[in-house]
């Protein structure tokens, strides 16, 4: 099994110090983004600077797209599938922990249902990150994983129905474009990824995978 996985993508070694520094930085980034997201969520939009109000970052951070994108970036740029699992898990622990600690301690309410959803997602994230790491590999498995990631981001960026196809949010369109750059390895590879990913999107567009989760 290990040799089979190594044919898709071979892990790289890091020194213990670099592993510690990278993982700690990712954990701290998760804490910071969780706090920023919650502060934006609890601040009236007319109290925010004009450019933040126009960007609508409150709603942007309250949707799942940005978190899928950041998890994918952390995953594919880690040096091994195990490091990917650890790093993504730490990111979500930091983000979810800081978001809901602020919610309970500062905002004064306890959203048990949504918190449990995010705790479950955090527990599942290492396994998903392990798989996603192979998106930057070779062969049909890497293409399939990359296409699935693009499909998830496409669901956040676009709205599709029987008579329409529209952009949901311009910031999430930027995430979609960013995802293509993150997954890019060669022109032929990315054409396959975009084609399969968008086909999967059109096939699953009417299936409600996510609801507002914060």
Query: Where are the chain's structural domains?
Result: 2-204
Distance separating alpha carbons of residues 69 and 213, to the nearest angstrom: 15
Question: Do 53 and 114 meet the contact criterion of CB atoms below 8 Å apart?
Answer: no
Phi, psi at 72, each rounded to 5°: -65, -40
pLDDT single digits (tens) 2-49:
888 888 999 998 899 999 999 999 999 999 999 999 888 877 666 667
Q: Give residue 210's pLDDT band: very low, low, confident or very high (50, 70, 90).
A: low
Q: Is pLDDT larger for residue 199 or for residue 204?
A: 199
Distance separating alpha carbons of residues 72 and 106, to the nearest angstrom: 30
**Average pLDDT score over residue span 194-210:** 86
What does the DSSP assignment read for the chain?
A: -HHHHHHH-------HHHHHHHHHHHHHHHHHHHHHHHHHHHS-GGGS-HHHHHHTHHHHHHSSHHHHHHHHHHHHTSSSHHHHHHHHHHHHHHHHHHHHHHIIIII----HHHHHHHHHHHHHHHHHHHHHGGGGSSHHHHHHHHHHHHHHHHHHHEEE-SS-EEES-HHHHHHHHHHHHHH-S-HHHHHHHHHHHHHHHHHHTTS-------
pLDDT single digits (tens) 95-137:
999 999 988 887 777 778 888 999 999 999 999 999 999 999 9
**Average pLDDT score over residue span 124-152:** 96
Partner residues linked to 158 by β-bridges:
167
Q: What is the largest CA-CA distance in the chain?
A: 56
């Amino acid at each position: 099994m290990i040799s089979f996985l190594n044919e898709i993508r071979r892990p790289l070694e890091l020194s213990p110090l670099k592993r510690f520094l990278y993982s700690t930085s990712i954990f701290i980034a998760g804490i910071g983004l969780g706090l920023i997201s919650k502060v934006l969520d609890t601040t009236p939009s007319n109290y925010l600077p004009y450019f933040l109000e126009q960007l609508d970052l409150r709603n942007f951070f309250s949707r799942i797209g940005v978190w899928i994108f950041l998890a994918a970036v952390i995953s594919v740029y880690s040096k091994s599938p195990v490091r990917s699992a650890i790093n993504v898990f730490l990111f979500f622990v930091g983000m979810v922990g800081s978001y809901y600690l602020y919610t309970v301690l500062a905002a004064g309410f306890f959203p048990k249902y949504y918190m449990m959803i995010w705790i479950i997602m955090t527990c599942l994230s290492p396994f998903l990150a392990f798989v996603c790491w192979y998106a930057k590999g070779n062969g049909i498995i890497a293409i399939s994983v990359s296409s699935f990631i693009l499909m998830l981001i496409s669901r956040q960026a676009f709205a599709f129905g029987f008579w329409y196809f529209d952009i949901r949010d311009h910031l999430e369109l930027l995430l979609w474009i960013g995802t293509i750059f993150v997954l890019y390895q060669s022109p032929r590879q990315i054409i396959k990824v975009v084609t399969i990913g968008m086909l999967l999107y059109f096939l699953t567009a009417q299936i409600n995978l996510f609801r507002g989760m914060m």
